[in-house]
Amino acid sequence: VVIGAEPAKVWRILTTPEMIPQWMSDEELTVSLQGQAGGAIVMRGLLHGMPFENHGTIRAFEPGRSFAYGYWSTLSASRLADVPENHTVVSFDLAPADEATLLTLTLSDFAEPAIRPHADL
């Protein structure tokens, strides 16, 4: 998708914990993240009124270019262990496009098909 803002602004919106809930969820959500590859990311909130925590590791953190993280959700706790092979991956790739930004969102590594419908941003 092309966004009418420069990559630096899009980057701030994607990676500032206080801004993430504005585009990620219509329900209660808090986010904390360590701004570096290998850092932690934690999201706590409600999904259809059910409390959850998603936690994982930042895989890419290249300002203005790439932000990716893998996560496991407590919503899957009854079916999936919290191990790396059960972590869903969310990747945002940014590229300048004139005075705009081309944003590519990729969701991958779903441990089970039931997770996919809940990953819509």
pLDDT, one tens digit per residue, over 9-19 is 999 999 999 99
The partner residues of 95 in beta bridges, in order of sequence, read 102
pLDDT reported for residue 110: 72
pLDDT reported for residue 76: 86
- CA distance linking residue 2 with residue 21, whole number of Å: 21
Q: Quick check: 65 and 94 in contact, CB under 8 A?
A: yes
First-to-last alpha carbon distance for the chain, in angstroms, is 13
- Mean pLDDT (whole number) for 9-33: 96
pLDDT digits (tens, 9 = 90+) for 49-87: 899 999 999 999 999 999 999 999 998 888 889 999 999
Residues of the chain with pLDDT > 90, as a percent, come to 78
CA angle 33, 6, 11 (to 5 degrees): 5
pLDDT reported for residue 111: 73
Domain ranges of the chain: 2-119
pTM exceeds 0.75, yes or no: yes
pLDDT at 116 over 60: no
What is the three-class DSSP state of 76?
Answer: helix
Pick the CATH number of 2-119 from 2.170.140.10, 2.60.40.1120, 3.30.530.20, 3.40.50.300: 3.30.530.20
